[in-house]
Structure 1
Amino acid sequence: MTLPTGEQIRRNILDRARVKLTEAFHRNFERKAFFSRAWTPRKQGRRGSLLVVSGRLRRSLRAQVIHSGIRFSSSMPYASAHNEGYEGPTKVPAHTRRAHAARRIVKGRARRVQVSAHAVRAHTKHLKLPERRFVGDAPEVRTTIEQCVRHEMTDFANQLTLLLKP
């Protein structure tokens, strides 16, 4: 039995931390909070859970071990806007609205009317997204990393004890 090198220990710590932090960041979507800090509630009447309508954003989170640490990224272009918040202009491409039923006031009374499909031209609108952090630095992240280091150092100490015992 041989003892791991310092580089192997560092790599094991980073791999363990990558797995644990990825699980913790995925749980943020279930909690609808960044660990203990709840996200700003959304406007009523919207489909799906907060930040999880199709699940693409959550599934797109990737963790990569680099020499100096762990890098989390997402292929979704709107990930950073949700994670950090955004206020400013955004382009809306031309599209066709689907036909749907709506409530309208007709002759002084609320009625359900059929709205036909129609084209919407490309335009720019002002968008304000509150920060709903799901990835980043927090005391819980630091605690998780400390636990990974402690676990790896305990494993190393146990291996060293077994090697020196005879």
Structure 2
Amino acid sequence: MNNTEELAKKIAQAMDALPRMVAEEAVEYSRTRFSEKAFNGVPWKPVSPRYHPRRGTLMVRSGKLLNSVRVARVTPRKVVIAAGNSKVPYAQVHNEGFSGSVVVKAHSRRTKGGKTVRVKSHNRQMRIPRRQFMGNCPELGKRLKEVSEQLFKSMIK
């Protein structure tokens, strides 16, 4: 095999490996947002002391949302990462924010005295600030470029 064929083979191998590598880097970037509490260098809005978690940190109490960030699809031309599932239906709301009315279904509530009371169905206004943890951004683009360059440099050596 001559040098040109060898180089073409190495480039083809790098191109095959690139989408999976990009997907893994994008998932890692998204998961790291939870510990850095920022997206693209912009800090998340702090939580009100009224709602501060008794355990865990902002947006990580059980770890379900963080652990739901995953690679959804990888093709040679497209990489899709996703978050949320049937146990984490609130992923999109936290990533994009929400302001509006929601229906609270009828339910039972236990009072401080231990008495159970019935709560009627009602509407409630909610305002959840955007705390983005995934999506395209310049910071991620820079990381993906660096990873891609490292991959090609290592394959061509």
TM-score interval, normalised by the smaller of the two chains? 0.7 to 0.9
Contact 2:11–2:155 (8 Å) recurs in 1: no
TM-score by length of 1: 0.76
Gaps of 5+ in 2: none
Greater strand percent: which structure?
1
1:141 aligned partner: 140
Q: % of aligned pairs identical?
A: 27
Contact 1:17–1:144 (8 Å) recurs in 2: no
Contact 1:34–1:133 (8 Å) recurs in 2: yes
Q: Secondary structure of 1:19's match? A: helix
TM-score by length of 2: 0.80
Q: How many residues align?
A: 144
The amino acid across from 1:73 in the alignment is A
CA drift at 1:4: 4.0
Q: RMSD value over aligned CA atoms? A: 2.1
Measured in 1, the distance between the counterparts of 2:28 and 2:49 equals 29
String of CA shifts for 1:76-115, please: whole Å, max 9, x gaps: 3211111111111212222222332xxxxxxxxxxxxx36
4+ aligned runs moved over 4 Å, structure 1: none
Greater helix percent: which structure?
2
The amino acid across from 2:37 in the alignment is K
- Structure exhibiting the larger radius of gyration computed from Cα positions: 1
Gaps of 5+ in 1: 101-113, 159-166
Aligned pairs for 1:72-83 (under 5 A) are 72-74=81-83, 75=85, 76-83=88-95
Contact 2:38–2:44 (8 Å) recurs in 1: yes
Contact 1:92–1:125 (8 Å) recurs in 2: yes
1:154 aligned partner: 153
1:16 aligned partner: 21
1:59 aligned partner: 67
Contact 1:14–1:70 (8 Å) recurs in 2: yes
